[in-house]
């Protein structure tokens, strides 16, 4: 994550705290996440535990795994296509870490849903068993100025 001293045009972070539980979160804008494939995926708006951001700012790197909230923002005039929706779903699946992925991870058990980089720092969220479970454990959306084409709307349940 670029520091504030990097100037405008970089990613931004807003911190927040839930008073009833004391849990701290960060809202990220335009941060690259690393997927299991090794590809990077920019998530326009993401919400993650504050400690993930703290560790990344200290150690560098990028988050590995899936944020609790992921929102793709589209400011285009035409309706969203099936391909746009497929690309979003594929991006989410690549950044999802499930329990069965443990054998392929460089991190020690127990398997977690998001890691602050690949340096062995403290991970967060117990990984889910299935994509179905993970999709219900997180909030994922596409925010559009316009609607979706008929075929794309059918994919929104995924």
Q: What is the pLDDT of residue 91?
A: 94
Q: Round to the nearest angstrom and report the end-to-end CA distance of the chain.
A: 29
Greatest mean pLDDT among 35-39, 49-53, 124-128:
35-39
Paired tokens of 95: 């950044």
Paired tokens of 65: 């795994």
- The answer to whether residues 101 and 46 touch, using CB atoms and an 8 Å cutoff, is no
- The answer to whether residues 59 and 116 touch, using CB atoms and an 8 Å cutoff, is yes
What pLDDT band is residue 68 in, cutting at 50, 70 and 90? Answer: very high
| Whether the predicted pLDDT of 122 surpasses 70 | no
The residue assigned the tokens 């316009």 is: 146
SS3 119: coil
- Burial (CB count <10 Å: 0-12, 13-18, 19+), residue 144: middle
| Whether the predicted pLDDT of 11 surpasses 70 | no
Q: What is the pLDDT of residue 158?
A: 67
118/79 Cα distance (integer angstroms): 38
Domain parsing of the chain, residue ranges: 4-146
- Please count the other Cβ atoms lying within 10 Å of the Cβ belonging to residue 58: 11
| Whether the predicted pLDDT of 3 surpasses 60 | no
pTM: 0.82
């Amino acid at each position: 994550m670029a520091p504030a001293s990097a100037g405008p045009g970089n990613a931004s972070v807003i911190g927040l705290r839930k008073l009833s539980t004391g849990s701290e979160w960060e809202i990220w804008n335009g941060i690259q996440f690393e997927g299991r494939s090794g590809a990077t995926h920019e998530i326009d708006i993401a919400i993650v535990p504050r400690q993930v951001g703290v560790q990344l700012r200290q150690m560098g790197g990028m988050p590995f795994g899936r944020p609790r909230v992921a929102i793709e923002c589209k400011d285009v005039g035409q309706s969203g296509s099936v391909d746009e929706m497929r690309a979003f779903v594929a991006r989410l699946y690549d950044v999802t870490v499930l329990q069965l992925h443990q054998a392929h991870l460089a991190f020690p058990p127990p398997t977690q849903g998001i890691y602050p980089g690949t340096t062995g720092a403290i991970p967060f969220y117990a990984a889910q068993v299935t994509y179905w479970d993970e999709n219900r454990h997180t909030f994922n959306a596409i925010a559009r100025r316009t609607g979706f084409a008929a075929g794309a709307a059918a994919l929104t349940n995924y």
